[in-house]
A and B are shown apart, each in its own frame.
Chain A
Amino acid sequence: MSLSFKIQTANSVEAIDFNPDGVHAIEVKNLNVYYGSFRAVKDVTLGIARQKITAMIGPSGCGKSTVLRSFNRMNDLVAISRTEGQVLFHGKNIYEPDVDPVEVRKRVGMVFQKPNPFPKSIYENVAWGARINGFKGKKSDMDNLVEQSLRRAALWDEVKDKLDQSGLSLSGGQQQRLCIARTIAIVPDIILMDEPCSALDPISTLKIEDLMRELVQDYTIIIVTHNMQQAARVSDYTAFFTLTDNRAGFLMEYGDTTQLFTNPKEQVTEDYITGRFG
């Protein structure tokens, strides 16, 4: 399912010179992230496949969220953080000085752990992101964008009669789908999800997982999760992170999800996914 407005808006915000390169949506080379003098992520190198779901798993504190947040420069918001290495998005290192993180975040959307809709109406929640990014359409185009985004987030039928109600009046699962809808509305290339289901009940979780399978036809999705069943159920590729002795997170094993869960190469991976540690 392809959206008509997608091409329209994607063209209008084309500002960085990205060279489409083929296989990888994001390529990470020697990524190191520091918080002050503490090295949180050590020498991570990996490529994220386009239009696939990549799951990042690992024990608490292994730096998987930090790696995820380095893909849209969310770590910049933490004053003491420092990033080394390259994160290539369409062949362009997003950490180069001429890249504005604002443009990166428009192209790489994010869904957070705790549903965080704006204290605005449902309609505004979806429309706001598009509007501040310079959506050029008329009111009717915006209505269409909101409807399409909510439909894609499998929320339209539940909220179509109460678009003017506060986003906060929805249930937790609905709020998270609203957050996904507002991310879709800015027409990103990639959607990052940072433990999107950890605050949700199993039924809502299932809905979000179905939604991810639906969305991956158009988007590249990267999800951080603590739930290994979820990673196994939903993802195409899985990256397993763990810690060094001085608590720096690094990439232990990365590969096809089925293969990683059934036949891991590393003993540590096997111990983790079978529940022997972590």
Chain B
Amino acid sequence: MNRMPEPVNTNSSGNGSELFETNVTARNRKGVIWRVVFLSSTVVGVIALIVLLLTIINDTFGLAAIEYKVPLNEIAPQGKSIEETTCTEADVILQENVSKNRYRTLQNEKPILERSQTECVQLLIFEIAKPVVKATWSLSESITNEAEIQEFTAQKYPEADLVFRKWISKDFITSSQSDDPLRAGIKTAILGSLWIILIVILVAFPIGISAAIYLEEYASDNAVNRIIQTNINNLAGVPSIIYGMLGLAFFVRVLEPITSGAIFGFSDPTTANGRTIISAGLTLSLLILPVIIINAQEAIKAVPISLREASYGLGATKWQTIWFHVLPNAIPGILTGTILSISRAFGETAPLVVVGAATYITFDPENIFSKFTTMPIQVYQWTARPQDAFRNIAAAAIIVLLFLLLTINATAIYLRNRFSRRLV
């Protein structure tokens, strides 16, 4: 950097050079140091994110040693591999190999001849071959130590097949919960999460925005309103488990006749209490309501006063000003806050455990009065199991969770941008 040339004519009182030690180089150096600090922080964040994703992916794919009670090639009809077995053949094989009762149960679930060919093959594998996961390896291990793993499996589980397994698959997303990690799926939890988020959006979004509008635009600055405002600010920081307690005490217990659906005639014997989707949804709505209100208030506050004056100056009423100018200009900000809140609700686990998410359900939620589980809870339960394979499907579930979260966020951001574009 070139220094400015010194003025030729320096007299003591003229340019005041003795009053300043401008020292631009040192000042700029300070700026560079801070810049490096900020950049490093960003890099740390990005690295943390990458590590997180890699860890999950690492657990989602990899080798698995699977042992079959009956080898697959012994089940398959003569001259065919098991994948080529037709349903007619499978029907015969099943009748020969499973008990009469089990066969009847299977027929009741869905007549075997009406099932698809893949379903029939799955049936043969799980009913007769009865695979058991003996050991699993992560993706990195599978790639780097393949020879060792093969050797290890051959020694320790001579019966087992070593296969490269994608734990996340179409079957995983479309199957219900199961004791067997090979058959367990996330469908019930996906539906539970979506139902709950739907309730949260329908409840928290309108109430939150309405409250924010009232507090910002109508409430006068008096003691009562200041107390309300302070309380909302504090509620935003209350740990989520406390909301779980509230939900349990109020929605599950006090409002049981309503939240169990009994008074609407939904008296399902398995859900004869308030531990339902509606209770969970309302609890999570309360949880994120303060955050939505505060965010919406900030967004409303950020609408410039000049715009309001312009509107009032043309003879607009207060409501016309709010509806035509304040809200359209605040909506992008409001939506940003709401997106973040809803993401939080989507990933929330603790309050739902307290409210009573089912630990093990195999049937899908049918309405808001059904028992439920959600994806984070499913992940939590799977990681708590002793068998290795559940860790792999937990990782797969996390990928599904992240994917759904990103989809919801992307939709909301798309909507927000469309709102914003209309304004400019």
Contacts and interface: CB of A to CB of B under 8 A. Distances in A.
A102 interface: yes
Contacts of B306: 112, 114, 116
Interface string A6-31: 00000000000000000000000000
B325 A118 contact: yes
B310 to A, nearest CB: 5
A82 interface: no
Interface residues of A, number: 28
Interface string A90-123: 0000000000001101110110101011111000
A220 B106 CA distance: 90
A118 B308 contact: no
* Main DSSP-derived SS at the B contact region: helix
B155 to A, nearest CB: 73
Contact of B314 (A109, A119, A166): A109
Interface stretch (A36-44, A71-79, A201-209): A71-79
Contacts of B220: 79
A129 B424 contact: no
Contacts of A182: 314
Nearest to B315: A106
A118 B424 CA distance: 9
Nearest to A105: B315
Interface centre among B220, B310, B329 (most CB of A within 10 A): B310
Contacts of B309: 74, 77, 110, 112, 116
Contacts of B221: 79
B336 to A, nearest CB: 18
Given A77-B308, A166-B424, A112 B315 contact: no
A14 to B, nearest CB: 14
A106 B312 CA distance: 9
Contact of A103 (B315, B320, B325): B315
B307 to A, nearest CB: 6
Nearest to A103: B315
Nearest to B320: A132
A237 B423 CA distance: 41
Nearest to B423: A119
Contacts of B329: 119
B15 interface: no
Given A79-B220, A128-B324, A166-B424, A116 B310 contact: yes
A109 B316 CA distance: 11
Given A116-B306, A116-B307, A110 B313 contact: yes
Nearest to A114: B306
B216 to A, nearest CB: 13
A77 B309 CA distance: 8
A77 B221 CA distance: 14
A119 B315 contact: no
Nearest to B420: A119
A133 B309 CA distance: 16
Interface string B313-352: 1111100100011000100000000000000000000000
B314 A186 contact: yes
Nearest to B328: A119
Contacts of B423: 119-120
Contacts of A106: 314-315
Contact of B310 (A118, A133, A168, A186): A118
Contacts of B315: 102-103, 105-107, 129, 132-133, 186
A33 interface: no
Nearest to B314: A129
5 contacts: A103-B315, A106-B314, A112-B309, A119-B423, A120-B423
| Interface pairs A-B: 5 shortest CB-CB | A106-B315, A129-B314, A110-B313, A116-B306, A105-B315
Given A74-B309, A102-B315, A107-B315, 19 more contacts: A79-B221, A102-B316, A102-B317, A103-B315, A105-B312, A105-B314, A105-B315, A106-B315, A112-B309, A112-B310, A116-B309, A118-B310, A119-B424, A128-B324, A129-B315, A132-B315, A132-B317, A132-B320, A168-B424
